[in-house]
Structure 1
Amino acid sequence: MIRTIRKAALIAACALMPLWSGAVRAEQPIRLMVGFPPGGTTDVIARLVAQRMAEDLKTSIVVENRAGASGNLAASMVAKADPDGKTLLFAPSSHATNASLYTNQPFDPVKSFRAVGLVAVTPYVLVVNPRIEARNVHDFVAYLKKNPGKVEFASASPGTGQHLAAELFKMEAGVDIMHVPYKGSAAALPDLIGGRVPMMFDNIAVMLPHIQDGTLRPLAITSTQRSKFLPDTPTVAESGYPNFEVLGWFALLAPAGTPDKIIGAYNDALKKVVADPGFVAQLGKLGGEVAMRSPAGTDAFIAAEVEKWGKVIRSAHIQIN
């Protein structure tokens, strides 16, 4: 008799499991995956977004740092997740460049995801050591062409935005400059300020203190419009290279197949985030500017970035693995 009761209870429990799973799943927090360690720019902006979106959606959003392979580990986890809106990716611009830098990625940076929206951009600034006499891009290019293969540029490491910005500059300006990779921007700064490596592209927020104290000279901004942080510094595009644009960017992505209703609700919440003056102010401290786009517009933007940087990476013969 006892065995019969236990068996009946087990059968009943099994029958109820889908109901329990659904209820628990509905109560689960949204997981926002970040492919980099805590404290970096991607992580900080992700947390600013998560906090405000959670308030609007009246749910919990938990930021999970899954660092590895320049963000590929987190992206792979989201690509494989159920398209139920419970797992999202906060993707930086390396999401587009990794497609060409790394072989055998287990996901497609475009087809494996649906964009919720573009959040922010962080333009770079081209800086030189003041020992370089050039004060604008035109004169600097002339200087580089007089010294082919003799001028070096710094980057945070191979394949980073700093590196790729310089490679695109080489292609557009037709100059021959040599790459010197460092282990992060902080490691490059002493040599840049000391003049051992005379030029670098990097985030405005990183370079601004050194521009303000005169230890580095800005020549141009890499976005197509001037930056509010350096309004008197022209863009590379307006300096004679209209096809030149380099942006660090951050987008909120969901797994492919996520329903329109969920994408729409998250996009509405994201619009409120980027309209928040407090968010805009905190973003500005990181050198960032709001750059909201629709889900479809963000998907198209990322696809264009993948194609653009693929050409640059192949032309420069850059490969990480």
Structure 2
Amino acid sequence: MAALAPPVAAVRTAVRQALRGVEGTVLVACSGGADSLALAAATAFVAPRQGLPAGLVTVDHGLQSGSAERAAAVAAWAASAGLAPVEVATVTVSGAGGPEAAARDARYAALTEAAIRLGASAVLLGHTRDDQAETVLLALARGSGPRGMAGMPVRREVGGVALLRPLLDVSREDTRKACAALGLSPWEDPHNTDPAYARARVRSAALPALVEALGAGVVDNLARTARLLAADAAALDELARAALERARRQDSALDVAELRRLPDAVRTRVLHAWARERGAPPAALSHRHVAALDALVTAWRGQGPVHLPGGIAVARRGTLLT
């Protein structure tokens, strides 16, 4: 019997670890690219051996010629690989934040809806270690802070569905090699090399330049940075949740004295979470908004209210933020 190719083994091992403790049907999000195709093939092999039904959803964004035919081909392959149920989700891409963000939002909404409708407990996403490194660089360039530089989480709950990323410790090169070893022909998305997109520019120019200047370990080091910052952010978020409860007063006001005694990193998280509770849209709530709220606590000079996205005004009234 031929030996199993190491890249195939690496992807299967990652999927096996991700599915530990998962119950019920799982779905793979598959575009037909090397990363998600290798993930789907590994899931088709691993999930039944762990007693889990496994299906696939491929999203047709309708942004490129032939996208419907390509989605149908992915679905046909998935059915032949033993994945079930298999669905094509056709979405309309529109909204704020640019085409990348709009496509991502539409895709995640479609995947979550399909999982809920099909009774799936988890959706597996094909982001690799290289994707994580790119995310960290983009966050650094945008001044996103530790939360942004923590990158993509291994697991995130959306609407009761677990979004899992098994391949964050697997390289993009290994997913390509896994596809080649299995005789699979992945689709090459032209958006991945289109310089109109920031991530494509990072992938084709910025990250290779760093690798050339600092060595091949840069990719793994950036991904490791994301893991370390994610652990720190989770701890700070937990402290902030407890601090927010201590600072609450009547009518959802916050006690200034309670806030002032908090470390900066915790206090700003409390203010960010409180603003979101009040209805500020997360995507529009920026560092400058939180900094203005923080000034009401730490640099009070009688200034007027802070106006947050969503038409929310926050003012200091004596010892309270309201």
State TM-score, norm by structure 2: 0.27
More helix by share: 2
Which structure carries more relative contact order (alpha carbon 8 Å, separation 6+)?
A: 1
TM-score, normalisation: structure 1:
0.27
Whichever structure has more strand as a proportion of its residues is: 1
